[in-house]
Amino acid sequence: MYSRLPRALVTALSLIITVAMPTPPSQAWETTPTGDACHTTNTNVPQGDCGPFRQIFAENFNGDTVPLGAFSDCDHHAEQPDAFCDGLRGTYRANWWAYPTGWPDTATSGTDGNGGRAVGGVYHPEDTISVGPAADGDGRMRIRMWRPPDGSPVHAAAVVPKAALRQKYGKYSARLRVTRAAPGYKSAWLHYGDGCEVDYPEQNWTDTLAAFHHPCTGEGQDAFPTQARWTAWHTISLEWTPGSVRFYLDGHLIGHSDRGVPEQPLSWVLQNESALDGAYATAGSHAEMQITWVAVYAYAGAR
């Protein structure tokens, strides 16, 4: 599954990289937004193509509601373009998939080299993922992770727009905010496989957003920290083209890498799980993220 193999391959090298090192010029914030039409920084989902990127999916969550319990029975054709959750209906069944109940998260599996933390998580889409309107009427996907009062593992959530399953290159954008932060919860939205990994956004929800690129060649990671808090609304975009990955936050470039860029189809996973460092989630705690839109684009030059 997507939270496993690549981290194990890169961890030994990654440990020698100091993530908090001074940001070189190529990683600094740009003063002008990206030149395409996709740097929307409000609740309106971007519509239409953007330069070399052709929009193939956009969701603003303003349609049908999806109650807790609907993201269930998801272990059908796992990780393949025809994957589905049998509890979903209509467009959500057609367009969304989630890691099935019972899959261990990264902290539990220990396959990123952490050895298995004392408190980890297990994916439970049926009681963590829902869709419905906010108080102002804006549609939101809610990711509410929690740890049971009895101290058993965190209920984690990894959701996947099916348009982004097994796609080579592209642009991947979303607008999100952590509406309740608590120690022990994090995100690592990612593409990975075959020793390659691109993570954005990633970090504990009580910290700031960052981007990471783990080259397919096995070299040490490129890290792009920011000062942006998860608890504010942000638009994130990853642009993956031949030989390049570029990371945008609220329309501004925060970093790019051209080392060991993936050349094979990978899936975009909106992975949310228990923390890999810092404080553990306490028994009875919970934390929540809301997503107001998601957009997926294919790269016009992909073959």
Summarised one tens digit per residue, pLDDT across range 41-63 is: 778 899 999 889 999 999 999 98
DSSP assignment string, 84-133: B-TT--HHHHHHEEEPPTT-B-HHHH-TTTT---SS-EEE-GGGTEEEEE
Closest CA to 146 of 291, 289, 292: 289
Judge whether 108 and 153 are in contact, CB under 8 Å.
Answer: yes
Question: According to the model, what pLDDT value does residue 17 have?
Answer: 33
Band of residue 105 on the pLDDT scale cut at 50, 70, 90 = very high
Strand partners, 245: 240, 257
Residue 19 has pLDDT above 50, yes or no: no
Given a cut of 50, whether residue 85 has pLDDT beyond it is yes
Supply the pLDDT for residue 222.
97
Residue with tokens 């999100």: 176
Judged by phi (left if over 0) then psi (alpha if -120 to 50, else beta), residue 193 lies in left
Residue-level pLDDT at 135: 94
Q: What is the pLDDT of residue 43?
A: 82
Is the pLDDT at 115 greater than 80? The verdict is: no
Give the chain's mean pLDDT: 88
Q: What percent of the chain has pLDDT over 70?
A: 85
Positive or negative CA dihedral for 136, 66, 272, 219? negative
User: Which residue is listed with tokens 């937004």?
Assistant: 33
